[in-house]
């Protein structure tokens, strides 16, 4: 699908932009809480990335799930409305929308998206994702961003669901990874790539919310004809207990790293947690310098 000379610019961490706008994100629903309480802030955060040059915006639905929101006192109707609104809030001229599908681990809100190995069955995973996926598909985004997946079992379950729901929306699945060759569960990234790339609607296999230093080795460890979707975090570590990022916030990826990712086959590049609009603007310049 992507045949352009340079990778397409993705946005950065939505929560990072929201916090810069004064939002307090300290519940289990993270930025998703604002879909009920302050949609204008979400729209403004998306706008900041669009103004920075991002051509694909990932929606605020990452943390929104039916069981997770019900536990916070939301009604079923409020959850459905929030999911539909998340796509609409990210629509801007000349910008594509990628509906975010977060992992089961995000619902657990204990850092499990950086560990995997949930200990639940494939059917339980499918039951968790099914209704949310159906609603997001009905919102007609340009892409589905199935992201921060830590294990192959969850990726398999979601792929089966996409077939079950007969979705034709182009998608990527991006994995959280813990080192130069393994996704968070300890399984090989190369095996994750082999699994995902077989689907006809897959536009690329991704790596997200992973330290920038691991990106190039991970890409080198796997082979794909479709290219990679790359959006690392700023290199910090997530403290699931205190719900904050630990480490040097200034350690955003370098131009040299971006050039290398382009050379290794990245078709979409952006950022994740800790990467704000100013970083995306710098990323645009680095991508331009890569060819």
Average pLDDT over residues 108-128: 94
Q: Considering only CA atoms, which of 283, 247, 241 is closest in space to residue 262?
A: 283
pLDDT digits (tens, 9 = 90+) for 69-86: 999 999 999 999 999 999
Domain locations in the chain as residue ranges = 8-288
**Least-confidence region, from 171-175, 208-212, 238-242:** 238-242
Tokens 């006809």 -> residue:
200
pLDDT, position 272: 94
pLDDT digits (tens, 9 = 90+) for 35-63: 999 999 999 999 999 999 999 999 999 99
Fold of the domain spanning 8-288: TIM Barrel (3.20.20)
Q: Identify whether the C-beta of residue 197 lies closer than 8 Å to the C-beta of residue 170.
A: no
Average pLDDT over residues 115-141: 97
Give the pair of three-digit tokens for residue 201.
């609607």
pLDDT, position 28: 79
pLDDT, position 155: 98
Average pLDDT over residues 62-67: 96
Q: Kindly tell me the burial class for residue 47, based on how many C-beta atoms sit within 10 Å of its own C-beta (0-12, 13-18, 19 or more).
A: middle
Q: What is the pTM of this model?
A: 0.93
d(CA 228, CA 243): 29
pLDDT, position 3: 46
pLDDT digits (tens, 9 = 90+) for 159-202: 999 999 999 999 999 999 999 999 999 999 999 999 998 888 99
pLDDT, position 285: 87
Which residues face 268 on adjacent strands?
8, 229
For 246, residues 6+ apart whose C-beta sits below 8 A from its C-beta are 236, 237, 238, 239
pLDDT, position 1: 46
What percent of the chain has pLDDT above 90?
79
For the chain, the straight-line distance linking the first and the last C-alpha, in angstroms and rounded, comes to 19
pLDDT, position 236: 56
Structure-model confidence comparison of residues 41 and 286, the more confident one = 41
Structure-model confidence comparison of residues 36 and 247, the more confident one = 36
pLDDT, position 68: 94
For 223, residues 6+ apart whose C-beta sits below 8 A from its C-beta are 190, 193
d(CA 171, CA 191): 18
pLDDT, position 235: 67
pLDDT, position 247: 54
């Amino acid at each position: 699908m992507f045949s352009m000379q340079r990778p397409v610019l993705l946005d950065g961490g939505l929560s990072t932009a929201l916090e810069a706008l004064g939002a307090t994100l300290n519940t289990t629903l993270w930025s998703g809480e604002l879909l009920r309480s302050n949609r204008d802030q979400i729209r403004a955060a998306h706008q900041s990335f669009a103004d920075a040059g991002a051509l694909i915006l990932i929606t605020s639905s990452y943390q929104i799930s039916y069981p997770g929101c019900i536990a916070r006192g939301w009604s079923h109707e409020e959850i459905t409305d929030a999911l539909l609104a998340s796509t609409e809030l990210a629509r801007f001229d000349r910008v594509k929308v990628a509906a975010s599908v977060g992992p089961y681990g995000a619902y657990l809100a204990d850092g499990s998206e950086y560990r995997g190995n949930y200990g639940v069955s494939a059917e339980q995973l499918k039951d968790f994702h099914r209704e949310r996926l159906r609603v997001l598909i009905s919102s007609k985004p340009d892409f589905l961003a199935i992201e921060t997946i830590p294990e192959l079992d969850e990726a398999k379950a979601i792929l089966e669901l996409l077939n079950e729901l007969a979705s034709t929306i182009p998608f990527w699945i991006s994995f959280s990874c813990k080192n130069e060759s393994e996704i968070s569960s300890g399984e090989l990234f190369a095996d994750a790539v082999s699994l995902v790339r077989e689907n006809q609607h897959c536009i690329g296999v991704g790596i997200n919310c992973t330290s920038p230093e691991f990106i190039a080795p991970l890409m080198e460890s796997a082979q794909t004809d479709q290219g990679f979707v790359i959006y690392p975090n700023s290199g910090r570590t997530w403290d699931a207990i205190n719900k904050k990022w630990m480490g040097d916030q200034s350690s955003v990826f370098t131009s040299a790293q971006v050039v290398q990712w382009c050379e290794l086959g990245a078709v979409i590049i952006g950022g994740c947690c800790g990467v704000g609009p100013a970083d995306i603007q710098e990323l645009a310049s680095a991508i331009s310098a890569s060819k």
